[in-house]
Amino acid sequence: MRDVLRHHLFWPVAALVVLLVANTIARPGFLAVTVRDGHLFGAPVDILRTTAPLLLVALGMTLVIATRGIDLSVGAVVAVSGAVALSHIASSPNPDSPVTVLTAIALALVLCLLLGVWNGFLVSVLGIQPIIATLILMTAGRGVAMLITNGMITTVNSTPFKVLGSGFWLGLPAAAVLAFGVFAVVAFVVRRTALGMLLEATGINPAASRLSGVRSRTLTWTVYTASGLFAGLAGLLISADTMAADANNAGLFIELDAILAVVIGGTALSGGKFSLSGTLVGALVIATLERTVTVLGISPLVTPLFMALVVIAVTLLQSPRMRERLTARRRQVATPPGSRPAAGPGPTPGSTTDPTTDPTEVKA
Amino acid sequence: MATSAPARTPRARRGLRLPTRLDRRYLPVLGTFVVLALMLVVGGTRYENFLTPAVISNLFINNAHLIVLAVGMTFVILTGGIDLSVGSVLALSTVITAALLQAGLPVAVVIPLAVLAGTVIGLAHGVMIHYFQVQPFVATLAGMFLARGLCFLIAPESIGIADPAFIELATWVQIFGQWRMTSSVLIALIVVGLGFLVLHFTRFGRTVYAIGGGEQSALLMGLPVARTKVLAYVVSGTFAGLGGLLFAMFSRSGYSLTGVGMELDAIAAVVIGGTLLTGGTGFVLGSVLGVLVLGLIQTIITFEGTLSSWWTKIVIGVLLLIFVLLQRVLSLRRT
Amino acid sequence: MTQQTAPPVVELTGISVEFPPVKALDGVDFSLHPGEIHALMGENGAGKSTLIKALTGIHSPTAGTIRVDGVERRFSGPADARAHGVSTVYQEVNLCENLTVAENIMLGAEPRVLGGLNWRAIRRQAATHLRRMGLDIDPSSSLGSHSLAVQQLVAICRATVGDCKVLILDEPTSSLDTDEVAHLFTVMRGLRDEGVAILFVSHFLDQVYEVSDRMTVLRNGTLVGEYVTADLPAAELVQHMIGRSMDVLEAAEEVLEQAERPAGATPLLGVVGLGRKGSVQPFDLDLYEGEVVGLAGLLGSGRTELARLLTGADRADVGQARVAGRPTRLRNPRAAMRHRIAYTSEDRKGEGVVDGLTVRENIVLALQAERGWMRPLPRKQVDELVARYIQQLGIRPADPEALLRNLSGGNQQKVVLARWLATAPRLLVLDEPTRGIDVGAKAEIQKLVAELAADGMSVVFISAELEEVLRISHRIAVLRDRRKVAEIDGNGATMDQVVDLIAGGGAA
Amino acid sequence: GTQTGGGGETNAADDGVITLGFSQVGAESGWRAANTKSIQDTLTAENGFDLKFSDAQQKQENQIQAIRSYIAQQVDVIAFSPVVETGWDAVLQEAKDAGIPVILTDRAVDSSDETLYESFIGSDFVLEGEMAGQWAAEQYDGEGYQAVELQGTTGAAPAIDRKDGFESAIAGSDIEIIDSQTGNFTRAEGKTVMEGFLNAHDDIDLVFAHNDDMGLGAIEAIEAAGMTPGEDIKIITIDAVKDGMQALADGKINYIVECNPLLGPDLADITKKVLAGEEVEKRIVVKDEAFDQAAAKEALPTREY
Ligand SMILES: Nc1ncnc2c1ncn2[C@@H]1O[C@H](COP(=O)(O)OP(=O)(O)OP(=O)(O)O)[C@@H](O)[C@H]1O
Ligand SMILES: Nc1ncnc2c1ncn2[C@@H]1O[C@H](COP(=O)(O)OP(=O)(O)OP(=O)(O)O)[C@@H](O)[C@H]1O
Ligand SMILES: O[C@@H]1[C@@H](O)[C@H](O)OC[C@H]1O
Ligand SMILES: [Mg+2]
Ligand SMILES: [Mg+2]
């Protein structure tokens, strides 16, 4: 039981369960999934679909954060991606042709990849601090997206493209299949190869990693590129969702949601050890949270308040201090009677453990 | 971002041994100053009525609240932290001010309350960050949501301020020829002076720098790390509250959606002013210059007058880039 | 000398500290008297630093009492301890490099005027303290602009500010050279004579014998005993520390003596006119298989920078390098690694350990980086490799999954060494590999170096301990003022000869 | 054009070109884009204008800043669409002191002093809401319809007024609003909120969206839930931008009340009058039409936006 309690996914999963239970109490049929025309329908399915773009962005964000970085530009990249794809489809004489759609997707992804390359260049080659380097694209990127759409909300009708938003594959929403599929592949690659460890080493001590022959710079560059690419993919899903490219609003604040997903999942923003499974749960928590607000009929006015409370609760419960409390209780049970219980349990804040990183982090 | 500075190689150290008269720590600020001057010159030659006392006065009048936010942010960033909540806290303070004034409370009661709201939120951040070791980015992100939620709870709609005493305070202006100085500019300048004095002439201020230089070291040196860190967030929160007051004076209203993204402006200003996000180096005066640079970018864009909204965004991005690159070049030449 | 009559100023009884599952200290007694220099001895990980941290309130003991001046106390942290006259310079010298020297010395005790800091007085007082330490540096210069040695002395200077009854120095000499050590000892003796009680940790036995009055030996977190320095022969001390006799040391000597410098035809690595502007003047050097080349020089003479050019850590801007006769460019560490050249930096914290990763991950890091991320080492191979090095180098705790940051300084060093040995290098450049390492482990490392050379590896060995360099090297390159000034045969060389060369007195 | 000399009276300058500083809210909706285009296409050099345009990116501080800058630049006329209603007195007073007339477009300001601006050109948002509500009551009263509302940006005048208008118009009928949340005037949020509504309520009959964009988002959500928008769930929106009209013509929306974004010509007209010293009306309400599906099919080919 105690090991369960100390597992790094315990609190995020608990948060998810609490949210689902709350929804089910408010609405007993909440978890019901029905099959129609061989497709699954229902709130859980909706949640999977709405999680999809966030999951992709959070995936890239996790890798970037592992290298001690952060990518604030993902929201803008989402907007650019939709703008490029939909402008291409809209300007083509035959929006329903798969070739048009594939070209549009390819164009968008390549451009977003390049935007990622740009971020990576600023960070890894020019050595600009990530938060500022990506702030540049965060600002300019939306401008670029508007430039592409000429400030209009570009809308299209294209059956093959619409599949990305509301189509079904294998009975599940195509967007969810795509996002979870990409996530699984990346997670597999990162953890089954040495990539994860090398990223962590880069994030913890770039100088030592370089001397050990780790291509720190290339790795750093790569994660920003990946983040751009995943954000681009997310942008396609988001624009296909409404079949509109809204340069101003598409992906607005998604960077914050993604960072929150990463943090709720137990990855420290100070880089190093990261948990992709945590990010997955984190993204689900956020998507479910948004849904909960509507289902519980919580006034939209207090939505941010509700968000804040959940975030504070999860992060406090996950904080080193709270974990020590749990450890301390265990230790007290373990220590023989008569021995003096520790004054301040475990290492005090002044212990040699670096307070910015969580030593108990476990990787996925 | 609680990242620690990259390990210093022995070579970097030798570079610093070169004899120089001007302290290298001032170089980034100087760089910002040079760029600011350049922008003024370019603007002055390009547009009519640009290099006028009215425009320069406006620069300060329009950005007084941002200056106050940036000073608070400087404290936090110097400790190696960050405060994402300041935009929302500013909004909260405007809403509290407007709502309480509307309810008929006297200005003398309302002003301290509005500022205090920021102080309390700052304190909460400090406690979360220091005692629960929640990362600053996350703690203040939660604070950002919290403050915004409170805004909506108090009043979703924008509330006008008609209180005569408040209006009088807001419209107080001192005119020197073409130059104008409003009460908010005066307050902002006082805050800057205070910030400077506290950072350079108190133990608290020096401990802020020490923590940024290495929290672990500061602890082992026996410095009051806990108190100082918490206090830095209290300062930032308080100044955000005060910033809200200035903003309420500026807009004569309280609105829950105000200041969205303003924290990024404040952070950008601090960074442009030469403060490192890793903590330990930087100056309040640099942050003030950073705010002026951002303000001047806006001014230039309005003077240009033909930019569609997308070009506005792209131009801001490009200018930010040029700025960061310039600073980078400057700091590379240092070693 | 020792004033056994005076009551102890610090008295610890039955102190235990735990980092589950490690018991870092187990019921240790310790006492420190005014006017004595007391050495705390023990192997890496014995619990020396932990004892100090328990005393100064960084770690809270799970059992035991702490008395200072006869009053039972639990300090809440360094500040509290300091307020009661207990000042500490911790092992990880940690001052703030972004502040000036004066601030680092006076921070927290600054003179004030009208409620604000009095900068003039701060600088003046700092200058006074610096002078007392015999340090001639500008108080308003930035601390980061000074060498580690100077920083170390500034840290000590800081510790003596104010009412200092007890001064604790955890390995203060590990980055100092002979002159600076002598200098430090003068200061320490001066303070002792003023009645200050000094607790001193060092792995240099000769230093301990030179300066200490009494010593306390720890082993594996338990107290072995307290001794009067003059009464305890060195061999016995070592036996107390490592819990066995000095066979290892003798074994090392044997291997070294057996090893004969082979007459290789082409050097493994040969460099001609290699140099870098502002760092090291162009130099020639040939490194042969099976040979240990020592680098001797004063602090800042350029040994490290030479080593960095040999290993691609820094890029040379002039000169040529040949590996096994073939021209090559050592552009970066990876390029060097392709030629099986390995480098362990002297800056363990900054360029060695990856403290958030485990022992296992740290050991395989270089090997894995070399294979590329696509080809992960099979888990079984990793486990064997890691187990082997933990055993061979005596890494403690012997837990592959322990986070490196929880290991003692010396053990971290061993892990970094293991990382490079795992890559099976042909040329191994070791920059201060024995810094902060206990006698037993130091002997192990020396033996290891000798054995590696005997097996055909080429080793470049840098150490601040000249004696060690002399003992271990087949050949010694001497540096002075960032220039290679001489190359002598290691076997015939005497200490005096090398010292002359280093100091610039002898013929080059 | 812009005068070089210091501080004097500003009026339509000798060269006959009118310098007009316009501060736009942002670019948050399709409506807004059409509005911006209309202004930029009308106030051209050919038409005798020198337009200084700036986008406030939805921030009041940017608008105040821009207006101050226009005053410093000594433009002939200042026009703007205020982000929020309150807080304009100070800066408008500055403009008045500098002798520069101000014209409001689209959204009004909440000020006790009406002399601070010359005129307001825009729609009557309350009326728009009422028109939507009236039509709903006419069509669906007696069916016991359960309606959900997608509100505009919290606190924005069009959101507040349209909500009020709609509510007052359905007051006598048996249409009941069972849920109402903000979709922030955007399509994406309109869709997410609608999805939530569909998860939370079994029986939704009617959607009232404060603009087309949110209505279009709702259509996506309804389709994704396997239902037919316009039939299973009726939809009423406001704006009548092209995409909305198309959906109306396609039968996915049931009724749209127009909110005319083409304010450029009116603005040009009023500006000239103001500068010529003519009396202008304080409040010029643009006439808004409303469309049902048949009307939409008819109007679609000739719509400008
Ligand atoms: N913060 C910590 N968390 C867990 N274990 C720790 C921590 N600090 C020390 N230890 C463990 O306690 C033991 C004693 O370490 P300590 O640092 O006191 O050794 P030391 O005698 O100073 O060694 P060295 O000579 O290498 O500096 C070691 O096994 C170490 O791994
Ligand atoms: N007296 C000094 N004052 C200031 N800086 C110094 C001094 N001595 C050395 N340094 C710095 O320390 C760094 C280390 O010197 P270097 O690597 O050249 O010498 P080394 O022979 O390896 O000495 P070390 O024993 O420190 O490793 C140099 O870059 C130099 O800048
Ligand atoms: O989108 C709209 C909003 O931005 C504008 O202010 O009023 C009309 C609305 O439909
Ligand atoms: Mg130690
Ligand atoms: Mg060296």
Burial C155-165 (b: 16+ CB within 10 A, else e): bbbbbbbeebb
Mean pLDDT of C196-214: 91
Mean pLDDT of C69-89: 90
Residue A132 DSSP one-character state: H
Q: Say which residue, B3 or C237, is predicted with more confidence.
A: C237
**Using a 6 Å CB cutoff, which residues line ligand 1?**
A 347, 351-353; C 19, 22, 24, 42, 44-50, 91, 396-397, 406-411, 438
Say yes or no: B109 contacts chain C, CB-CB below 8 A.
no
Give the domain-ending residue among C244, C266, C298. C244
> pLDDT of C447-479, one tens digit each?
888 888 888 899 999 988 888 888 889 899 999
- Chain B residues inside the 8 Å CB shell of C109: none
Query: At residue B225, what are phi and psi to the nearest 5 degrees?
Result: -65, -45
Comparing CA positions, the residue from C444, C124, C464, C420 lying closest to residue C294 is C464
Give yes or no: residues C459 and C315 share one domain: yes
Most confident of A23-27, A334-338, D137-141: D137-141
Say yes or no: A315 contacts chain B, CB-CB below 8 A.
yes
Q: Give the pLDDT confidence score for residue C257 in this predicted structure.
A: 61
The answer to whether position C438 is within a domain reads: yes
> pLDDT of C38-63, one tens digit each?
999 988 888 999 999 999 998 999 99
Give yes or no: residues C329 and C200 share one domain: no
- CB contact at 8 A, C17 and C50: yes
Q: Give the pLDDT confidence score for residue A328 in this predicted structure.
A: 56
Q: Give the pLDDT confidence score for residue B335 in this predicted structure.
A: 46
Give yes or no: residues C140 and C154 share one domain: yes
In the Cβ-directed half-sphere of D164, how many Cα atoms lie within 13 Å? 11
Which residues span the domain enclosing C396? 353-424
Give yes or no: residues C101 and C187 share one domain: yes
Q: Is D259 in the pocket of ligand 3 (CB under 6 A)?
A: yes
Look at residue A172 and give its three-state secondary structure.
Answer: strand
For residue A245, pLDDT over 70 is answered with: yes
Q: Give the pLDDT confidence score for residue B13 in this predicted structure.
A: 39
Amino acid letter, residue C440:
G
Say yes or no: A102 contacts chain B, CB-CB below 8 A.
no
Of D197, D217, D224, the CB nearest to A294: D197
**Considering only CA atoms, which residue is closest to atom 19 of ligand 2?**
C300
Residue D29 Cα: closest atom of ligand 3 = 1
Taking CB atoms and an 8 Å limit, are A269 and B133 in contact across chains? Answer: no
Q: What angle do CA C472, C473, C478 make, to 5 degrees?
A: 130
Per-residue pLDDT of chain B (335 residues; tens, 9 = 90+): 333 333 333 433 333 344 445 566 787 788 888 889 988 999 999 998 899 998 999 999 999 999 999 999 999 999 999 999 999 999 999 999 999 999 999 999 999 999 999 999 999 999 999 989 888 988 999 999 999 999 999 988 889 898 999 999 998 988 888 899 999 999 999 999 999 999 999 999 999 999 999 898 898 888 999 999 999 999 999 999 999 999 999 988 999 989 988 999 999 899 888 888 888 889 999 999 999 998 998 888 888 877 776 777 888 788 788 878 876 776 665 44
Give yes or no: residues C450 and C403 share one domain: no
What does the alpha-carbon distance between residue C191 and residue C160 come to, in Å, rounded to a whole number?
Answer: 9
Per the omega criterion (within 30 degrees of 0), is the bond before C21 cis? yes
CATH of the domain at C218: 3.40.50.300
For residue D17, pLDDT over 60 is answered with: yes
Q: Structural domains in chain A? A: 2-324 (1.10.3470)
- CB contact at 8 A, D103 and D270: yes
- Chain B residues inside the 8 Å CB shell of D54: 301-302, 305, 307, 312
- Chain D residues inside the 8 Å CB shell of B163: none
For residue C105, pLDDT over 60 is answered with: yes
For residue D195, pLDDT over 80 is answered with: yes
For residue A355, pLDDT over 60 is answered with: no
Number of domains in chain C: 3
User: pLDDT grade, residue D51 (50/70/90)?
Assistant: very high
What does the alpha-carbon distance between residue B225 and residue B221 come to, in Å, rounded to a whole number?
Answer: 10
Taking CB atoms and an 8 Å limit, are A307 and B135 in contact across chains? Answer: no
| Mean pLDDT taken over chain C | 87
User: pLDDT grade, residue A356 (50/70/90)?
Assistant: very low
Rounded to the nearest 10°, the torsion over CA C162, C163, C167, C168 is -70
Give yes or no: residues C240 and C254 share one domain: no
Beta bridge partners of A173: A168
Q: Give the pLDDT confidence score for residue D156 in this predicted structure.
A: 82
The answer to whether position C347 is within a domain reads: no
Ligand with smallest separation from the Cα of C464: 2
Say yes or no: C116 contacts chain B, CB-CB below 8 A.
yes
Task: Give me the sign of the Cα torsion angle A326, A327, A328, A332.
Answer: positive
Shortest Cα distance from A66 to chain B (angstroms)?
Answer: 12
Task: Please state the length of chain C.
Answer: 508
Query: At residue C139, what are phi and psi to the nearest 5 degrees?
Result: -60, -25
Give yes or no: residues C260 and C240 share one domain: no
Ligand with smallest separation from the Cα of C46: 1
For residue C317, pLDDT over 60 is answered with: yes
Considering chain A, what percentage of its residues have pLDDT values greater than 90?
A: 59
Q: Give the pLDDT confidence score for residue C262 in this predicted structure.
A: 57
Say yes or no: B210 contacts chain C, CB-CB below 8 A.
yes
Say yes or no: B226 contacts chain A, CB-CB below 8 A.
yes
Taking CB atoms and an 8 Å limit, are C103 and B206 in contact across chains? Answer: yes
Give yes or no: residues C209 and C239 share one domain: yes
For residue C359, pLDDT over 50 is answered with: yes
Mutate to test the interface with A, among B8, B9, B138 (most CBs of A within 10 A): B138
For residue D103, pLDDT over 70 is answered with: yes
Q: Give the pLDDT confidence score for residue A310 in this predicted structure.
A: 83
| Mean pLDDT taken over chain D | 89
Taking CB atoms and an 8 Å limit, are B251 and D160 in contact across chains? Answer: no
Q: DSSP assignment of A281-319, as one string?
A: HHHHHHHHHHHHHHHTT--GGGHHHHHHHHHHHHHHHHS
Other Cβ atoms less than 10 A from the Cβ of B192: the count is: 20
User: pLDDT grade, residue D111 (50/70/90)?
Assistant: confident
> Which of C5-19, C80-94, C248-262 shows the lowest mean pLDDT across its residues?
C248-262
Mean pLDDT of C344-364: 92
Most confident of A249-253, B5-9, C437-441, D41-45: D41-45
> pLDDT of D289-298, one tens digit each?
999 999 999 9
Residue D211 Cα: closest atom of ligand 3 = 10
**Considering only CA atoms, which residue is closest to atom 3 of ligand 2?**
C147
Say yes or no: B141 contacts chain A, CB-CB below 8 A.
yes
User: pLDDT grade, residue D253 (50/70/90)?
Assistant: very high
Q: Say which residue, D29 or A362, is predicted with more confidence.
A: D29
- Chain B residues inside the 8 Å CB shell of D160: 157
Say yes or no: C215 contacts chain A, CB-CB below 8 A.
no
Give the domain-ending residue among C372, C389, C424. C424
Query: Of the residues C49, C174, C223, C390, which should be mutated to test ligand 1's pocket, given the most ligand atoms within 8 Å of the CB?
Result: C49
Q: How far is the CA of A255 from the centre of ligand 3 (A)?
A: 26
Give the domain-ending residue among C206, C229, C244. C244
- CB contact at 8 A, B100 and B162: no
Q: DSSP assignment of C346-364, as one string?
A: S-IIIII--TTSBHHHHHH
pTM of the model: 0.85
Mean pLDDT of C425-452: 87
Q: Is C464 in the pocket of ligand 2 (CB under 6 A)?
A: yes
Give yes or no: residues C420 and C275 share one domain: no
For residue C318, pLDDT over 50 is answered with: yes
For residue D8, pLDDT over 80 is answered with: no
